[in-house]
Amino acid sequence: PITLAALNESVQALIKHHDSLRLQYQHQGTWQQTYRDYDAADYREVVWYQTTTDEAFDTYLANAAEQAQGSLNIQRADSLRVLYVHSETRQALILIAHHLVIDGVSWRILVDDLLQGIEQAAAGKSIALALKSHSYQYWAQQIQTYPSSHQSEFELWQNQHSDALVLPNFVAEGDDTMHSAQTIQVALSEEQTQALLSQAQRPYRTHIDELLLASLSVALKQWTGSNEAQVFLEGHGREPWQSQLDLSRTLGWFTALYPVKLTSHHEIADTIIATKERLRALPNKGIGYGAFKYYGSEAQQQALHTARKPKSNLTT
């Protein structure tokens, strides 16, 4: 079993080492994001070290994880819980973090550092984690300068907008919340998946996301009758648009969200080619759209804020 002392020491080292785990959010008209200085006394409630029986283990673990998640408080920079539950023969270690301070890449960094810290602490050694890359704060500062150094890119983002898509049976005054959402799941066979990932990409040297978006373009045309549709794409947002920018060991939520105008042609081959060319013309995997929308000139910000928001999103 992991000892409470080793777990506590490792978690405190994580919070001190990774600035993003100390981000706090205050609402003063608008939400403001700031760093909180490290003080071990502020993070005594991060580790939940608990014991149960083998018989009650699964239920106890699920309930404890739900309680731990509910205890997060972004206004106190309290965005991480490390839950360790053990019984006579079983043990589980669960990490829970608010999405505002972490993304998919961050999880790998966090888990590796936590385990390394536990091993070092258990062996009686001082915890020494690998050097950090550029901070989340540094990245945010660089994003603010992006529009001034990429002025020619703004017109490209303006050209991604199209007329509002009229969806059949769409109820404008309906409940636009996750609570009212319904999910449709479609699964491809192993053979179909293999064909999509290999043979289907060869004729036009496409990537999987380009084929999926071309398919979406065709489906939207069949459904709505419109040849054009604007969708939002979501990427990991860690694009190194500067050669000196290093985010390889940086915790944070770097997601980039940006619009793309899709065009469906009469021939599927033309739709695939057009989709491929449009996506590859977007610089830095869309990072500039958010930069112009929030840090561009007043006119640029207004232009992108007043543009219609697409009704379709795709995570790539």
Judge if 203 and 284 occupy the same domain: yes
- Please enumerate in sequence order all residues whose Cβ is within 8 A of that of 290, keeping only pairs 6 or more positions apart, or say none: 143, 256, 257, 258
CB within 8 Å of 163: residues ≥ 6 apart: 226, 228
Residues 109 and 152 in one domain: no
Is the pLDDT confidence value at 29 over 70? yes
Q: Is 160 exposed, middle or buried (0-12, 13-18, 19+ CB in 10 A)?
A: buried
Which pLDDT value is given to residue 34?
A: 93
Q: Which residue has the higher pLDDT, 314 or 193?
A: 193
Whether 22 has a pLDDT exceeding 70, the answer reads yes
Q: Is residue 30 part of a domain?
A: yes
pLDDT tens profile 112-154: 999 999 999 999 999 999 999 999 989 999 999 999 999 999 9
| Percentage of the chain lying above the pLDDT 90 cut | 81
Chain-centroid distance, C-alpha 55: 37
Q: What is the mean pLDDT of residues 236-265?
A: 92
309 and 167 in one domain? yes
Q: What percent of the chain has pLDDT over 70?
A: 97
Residues 79, 172, single domain; the answer is no
Split into its structural domains, the chain has a count of 2
For the chain, the average pLDDT equals 92
pLDDT band at 307 (very low <50, low <70, confident <90, very high): confident
CATH of the domain at 20: 3.30.559.10
SS3 311: coil
Q: Does residue 187 register a pLDDT over 90?
A: yes
Q: Which tokens hold the place of 17?
A: 């080492």
Question: Could you tell me if 155 and 238 lie in one domain?
Answer: yes
| Domain assignment present for 113 | yes
Q: pTM here?
A: 0.81
Q: Are 62 and 19 contacting, i.e. CB atoms less than 8 angstroms apart?
A: no
Range of the domain at 96: 4-122
Residue 127 counted as domain residue: no
Residue 305 CA to residue 153 CA, distance in Å, equals: 17
